[in-house]
Structure 1
Amino acid sequence: MTQTPAYEVVVVGGGPAGLTTALYATRLGHRTALVNREGGRYERVTSVHNLLGVSEDASGGAVTELGIEQLEEYGADYYRDAVREVTNVEPGQRGDAEASDTADVDAPDAADADAATDFENESGDVQFRVTGERVTLRADRVVFATGFTDTPPDVRNLRQFVGRGLHYCLHCDAYALGDRPVFVLGHDDHAAEMAMMLLNFTDDVDLLLNDEEPTWGDDVAAQVEAHPVEVLPDRVDHAFADEESDRGSERGDADPWLGGLAFADGRTREYGGGFAVYGKEYNDELAAELGCDLREDGAIAVDDDRETSVSGAYAVGDVTHGQNQTPIALGDGAYAGIALHKDLRQFPVPADDLDRVADLDAPAMADDLDRVADLDAPAMADDLRARMWRVREADDHAGMTPDE
């Protein structure tokens, strides 16, 4: 039996929104952990686009790895594990002992994990237990950054070309497909609108119904009829690789790129790439089981601070809106990180709480404000402050020590 590691903030999910939330929370002085299952959607992105200052050669996996390194440098704990349950617990149970396999997880070593149960200026209002396959954590606040899962097209062999010709985000990838023949697989309003939008990049767009009846309305049907988009009703049998392409070798990729699609009647068509439009499934199960409100489409409902309907539970990134954009996810994480800090920080003590501060076990003083001065400051834990100094020294903020 070991003590369950306790944190002020536990983030579930390691995409750009989750990483940014954890980064802000840690740098703002809060004991933070991030739990991330292996092989998430963002880690499979072959090229990160539209992220200012980051090379287009960077993959989602590379950006994720750098983000984890930053978190650990500032003092956050990173756990490679799949979260199975998030539940409410009663306040004041931070130190209770229960079974935990933390020492066996790809995470901080056992000594560091145990140390996380004794940090300074605890808020005293532990609210959540985060249970993974191999680790259990306590959290004052929990953040869901669990994203969504694309509904794949029913075309043989096509899934292997995700990121290498098969795409889901026009705003990310249309630029790379311009002036080539492209396809859109789908049969609803969104698919039709995406096909017409692609005419901004190329004059050769096929809208592939894949043996499904179109479900778009009359107005969209009139638009499709008026635009130079070829609608093909035939069933798509399979995808084939572009064996002559040297794009993979230039990028150092061993996997081939999409060359085109073969139809059930034997016809083939070469494509530079295309998009599948069959919707998405929000990874909202953990939040829903906790009692968080969901929107009509299944996204987690949040306010401007990215807090859910459950007090102390936040959600960020694609699981709240499905925008599928790295910069938007980063912004969500920043908003949530700042909101968490305002929620958890010790100073300034709100005017409404001065009576509570006056009840603290402290020497009798003349007035409440003197009792505020008796609280521990700085409020940031000693080890996080020590890391702050080391980071500053590494950045050549010249030779200062904490004593100076």
Structure 2
Amino acid sequence: MFEVLVVGGGPAGLNAAQTLGRQRRRTLLVDSGRPRNAPASEMHMFLSRDGFSPAALRRIGRAELAEYATVEVRDGLITALSGTIDDFTAEFADGTTARARRVILATGQVDALPEIDGVTELFGRGLYHCPFCHGFEAADRPLAVLGGDFSQAMLALYLADRFAKDLVLCANGPLQVSPELEEAVRRAGIPVREEPVTRLAGDDGDVTVHFAAGEPLWRSAVFHRPAQRQHTDLAAGLGCELLPDGCVRVDPAQRTTVPGVYAAGDTARQADLPGPTPFVITGAADGAKAAIWLEQELFRAGVDVPIPG
């Protein structure tokens, strides 16, 4: 019986496991080896690690966990998770099981990319999802935004406001936004191309958008904000409440609605926030918070005295 099972080996899971290891909690970290930011070569907004490789950060994190004798790291895939507080059981794809008193879900999300040739190959290498992560490096170059819904139109307005004077909204069909948003795009001077997009080709700094009709469009980089879904259905299987956007609902201590189950990183958010914060540094912070409050829960459960509040 482990004290804590941490599901997910990204920044949230690694930081949670390290925090628990420092408190001598017997912890099992399970890593499926499928991180969301695998296509990215750099991460940003992480003090002292700006421009650092996310893959290198994961390697260093796992190496640091080896210093904590109470932390075990297992590569594998959990296919089912069941139980209640103080007795959860994880079932692995290889048929083995593990039990734990508490669970931290740090399984992350998956980007649902549009089915256009070249999109998957360029994602993270010329096609970017986040102006906070990649806008600075793309600044003052010819840019495009792919898609014509509310999210993409707002992304185009933001990029035009912060980073780009030469920006084209490639709507991939008729623009599907309110008249007010369409007028805002027009006022910002953003050209809109509504021809269906058939292919993206090139590389970072040299991307060509091909259309079903009309001339191809050369850009230095293309941005697209994809829809997301949960990487696994483990939270739903445990009965955790999911918010309308699919994120696991947590409170300020990263507790889900199921006793004994915490969630951290972009898999979860508080209900009063408009969306998850899918950044490496915030994921790591969430992991530390979840581990700290889970640690205190375990400690207080073992103290046979009334604790105010």
Once residues 103 and 206 of structure 2 are traced to their aligned partners in structure 1, the CA distance between those partners, rounded to angstroms, is 40
Match of 1:36 in 2: 31
CA contact (8 A) 1:291 1:310 kept: yes
Out of 225, 230, 234, the residue aligned to residue 282 of structure 1 is 230
Q: Take 2:124 and 2:206, find their aligned partners in 1: how far apart are those partners? A: 9
Question: Structure 1, unaligned stretches of length 5 or more?
Answer: 1-5, 90-124, 243-255, 354-404
Name the residue aligned to 1:18: 13
Q: CA deviation at 1:158?
A: 2.1
Corresponding residue to 1:306 among 254, 258, 266: 254
Q: 1:284 touches 1:299 (CA, 8 Å); kept in 2?
A: no
Amino acid of the residue matched to residue 156 of structure 1? Answer: D
Amino acid at match of 1:175: F
Is residue 341 from structure 1 mapped to residue 295 from structure 2 by the alignment?
yes
* 2:45 alignment counterpart: 50
2:168 maps to a residue whose letter is: D
**1:184 aligns to 2:145 (yes or no):** yes
8 Å CA contact 2:241–2:256 kept in 1: the answer is yes
- If you compute each CA radius of gyration, which structure gives the higher value, 1 or 2? 1
Note if contact 2:207-2:222 (Cα within 8 Å) is conserved in structure 1: no
> CA offset at residue 283 of structure 1?
2.9
What is the aligned counterpart of 1:240 among 186, 197, 201?
Answer: 201
Equivalence for 1:66? 60
Q: In structure 2, give the amino acid aligned to 1:290.
A: L
The number of aligned residues is 298
* Larger strand percent: 2
* Shift of residue 347, structure 1, vs aligned partner: 9.1
Task: Look up the SS of the partner of 2:49 in the other structure.
Answer: coil
Q: Could you tell me how far 1:328 is from its partner in structure 2?
A: 1.2
Encode CA deviations 1:301-350: one digit per residue, 9 max, x unaligned: 11111111110011111011332111111111111111011011269825
> Structure 1 segments of 4 or more deviating over 3 A?
none
SS at structure 2 position matched to 1:306: coil
Contact 1:15 1:42 in 2 (8 A): no
CA distance in 2, matches of 1:257, 1:62: 24
Counterpart CA distance in 2 for 1:336 and 1:171 is 25
Q: Distance in 2 between matches of 1:345 and 1:130?
A: 23
Counterpart secondary structure, 2:42: coil
The reply to whether residue 316 of structure 1 matches residue 264 of structure 2 is yes
Distance 1:11 1:51 in 2: 23
Counterpart in the other structure of 1:202: 164
**What is the aligned counterpart of 1:332 among 283, 286, 294?**
286
Question: In structure 2, what is the equivalent of residue 116 of structure 1?
Answer: none
Aligned position for 2:135: 174
Q: TM-score, normalised by structure 2?
A: 0.91
Residue of 128, 139, 148 corresponding to 2:88: 128
Unpaired runs of at least 5, structure 2:
270-275
| TM-score with structure 1 setting the length | 0.70
Query: What is the aligned-residue RMSD (CA, Å)?
Result: 1.9
- Contact (CA 8 Å) 1:44, 1:60: kept in 2 or not? no
Partner of 2:192: 231
Aligned AA (2:297)? D
Contact 1:295 1:301 in 2 (8 A): yes
* SS of aligned partner of 1:352: coil
**Structure-2 separation of matches of 1:195 and 1:216:** 13
